[in-house]
Structure 1
Amino acid sequence: MKFLKFLFILSLTCVSLLAQGTKKIALTFDDGPKAKITEEILEVLKENNAKATFFILGSNGKRYPKILEKIHEDGHQLANHSYNHPNLRKIPLAEVKKELESTNKIITDVTGEKVVYFRPPYGSLGQVRKEEVKKQLGMESVMWNICPKDWEKKSDTDYIAKFLIENSKDNGIVLLHDHSKTAKALKIAIPQLKSQGFEFVTVEELNKSKK
């Protein structure tokens, strides 16, 4: 009887572990690349065998092409966050296209691949503009559903790590930025989340897993 009870508990544990293994989450970083800081983030990701998506500013990508190459070589995804970080909802469509296309070129020169995903600065776009961009450039906008607000002063390393550990979820897209405190928080949070069964994937991989 005790043996049957043991087998039952063991089967429940296996089912639980299998369920945990299906949890996928996408870490995304806006506004980079930045000297030293982005490289610090890349090192943490490498240590934990975690993949991520970097929504770069074209102006920063032009300034630090070697870091873009490193992001790509490490197996992460490069995506578009505009060239100069304007509010895409408040400028003419022609300027929106210029912002995105100029950044696409910088990314494609590194990856050799077409850029499909972009994130509008401030998350500001609107449905009409979103459809216009998709129709004319074939690009998909990417928002988020987990946000520790790492840009705020009150969001220190401990707060960011605690927030991620407590609020991460299956199919989550985490909004982060290229900050040193964020890199330090990930050093704490990623191993904890991996122990909970999370797999860290790119936005592209996350979208494919939903199909």
Structure 2
Amino acid sequence: MRASVTITGSLEDAFNEWTEGTARRLTDVTEQAASTMRDELRAAMSTAGLGKLGRALGHAGYPGGGNYSIHPAAEVFVRGRAASAAKWEGVIDAFNDGATIRSKRGWLAIPTKNCPKGSRGRFLTPDQVAERFGPLRSIAAGKSVLLFADVIAGKSGGVRKATAGRIAQGRESKLTLMFVLVKDATIRKRLDLDAVIRQWETRFPAMIADVLKDG
């Protein structure tokens, strides 16, 4: 008995078809892994009470643009221009590792709940508060310094500058604590992003192996 096998068509075409299909699946699964990893890192930040910080994370796949590759790549990164991204990377690292922050100017100004916010929702700086309400008064308190502003309660909430006209109306001015100045501040570790990354060091190779097995 004799058996024979005949290959019809082009072997090169068959190989190219397999390669193209595998490249598509490899690229898709790589981008999916990066997207899911970003979402899990964001979820970890949200659980730690740092949900807004997670918005700084983005992801990208390569080659991108709807193209596919047998050697795709993807990354999770901190979005923004170089200076801004570096700033937020530092913030994320501080919460992930714990850190002691020291000011290059000698003091760190920690705003209290009384400190007004600007148009972008950020607390005003001591200079901005002084510009709005007048010179701040300082009182030493151990290793800290307390900064107060002389203000009047606003009729519709918030505080207003203690002007002579408002005082003449019988409205009472009050020294209100705006900032606590400290030499340094310790940020405790609140995140364990490394645990998420370690999981993906195992999960991603398994996803790639599944693609190649089915390819």
The alignment's TM-score, normalised by the length of structure 2, stands at 0.23
Structure number with greater Rg is: 2
Structure whose residues are more often strand by fraction = 2
The alignment's TM-score, normalised by the length of structure 1, stands at 0.24
